[in-house]
Amino acid sequence: MKDVPASGSATTTHHLHLHIGLRNLKTALSAALCALLYYFFLSERNPTFACIGAIFGMGANMDHSKLHGGNRLFGTIIGGLLGMGLFRIYLIFYPDGENRLLLVPLLFVGVIILILLAQTFWVGAVQPGGVVLCIVLFNTPVDTYVSYALDRMFDTGMGVAMSLLINYLLPRERLEPWVEKLKAKFQR
């Protein structure tokens, strides 16, 4: 084993222990099932953000999945709706989107509103909401900002829902006896 710096510290070390556990497997399963769902049933859509939502949405148990998935989903919804509203204000002044400098003060106001909304509705929504807000404001064309934001909300919701479903159907308590049987079988 190799000594590596502990997270957040340059002086403390711990032994690197690579481990693939149940949550790793459920995360991979959730993301892969999202991609398959999109491939077979939503082929006109790109599965990227659903897969990301699935990865962010998986937790060690159902409560953690609700927390992490909720952070991602509510952040995406708040950031997407806020981004659409602020981008619409921008388009009132620059219908062709030719002066992106106005987006800077709109971003400033938007981040403050985002933080206030997150404090009101879902505290963990700030970071994912900020990502979506910035993407809507600075990286979407004038003619697709609404569809982009709505697509991100839908796709993220699909991914988070998949992780919640996987964690509901395959809780640790149900999987641990199977894992023990498999370990015993392979140790013979």
* Within-domain flag for 15: no
Residue 130 lies inside a defined structural domain of this protein: yes
Q: What is the pLDDT of residue 11?
A: 62
Domains of the chain: total: 1
Q: Answer whether residue 165 is part of any domain.
A: yes
State the DSSP H helix or E strand holding residue 15, giving kind and residue range, or none if neither: strand 13-15
> Residue 182 is part of which domain span?
30-187
SS3 3: strand
- Is 24 within a domain? no
Q: What is the pLDDT of residue 8?
A: 58
Residue 21 in domain: no
pLDDT category at 19 given cuts 50, 70, 90 is confident
**What count of other Cβ atoms lies within 10 Å of the Cβ of residue 26?**
23
Mean pLDDT of 96-100: 91
Q: Is residue 160 part of a domain?
A: yes
Does residue 70 carry a pLDDT above 70? yes
Q: How many Å separate Cα 126 from the centre of its chain?
A: 12
Q: What is the pLDDT of residues 119-148, one digit of tens each?
A: 999 999 999 999 999 999 999 999 999 999
Query: Does 10 fall in a domain?
Result: no
Count the neighbouring beta carbons within 10 Å of the beta carbon of residue 147.
10
Q: Whole-model pTM?
A: 0.84
Average pLDDT over residues 147-162: 98
Angle at 132 between CA 41 and CA 151, to 5 degrees: 25
Residue 2 lies in a domain: no
- The maximal CA–CA distance of the chain, rounded, in angstroms, is 73
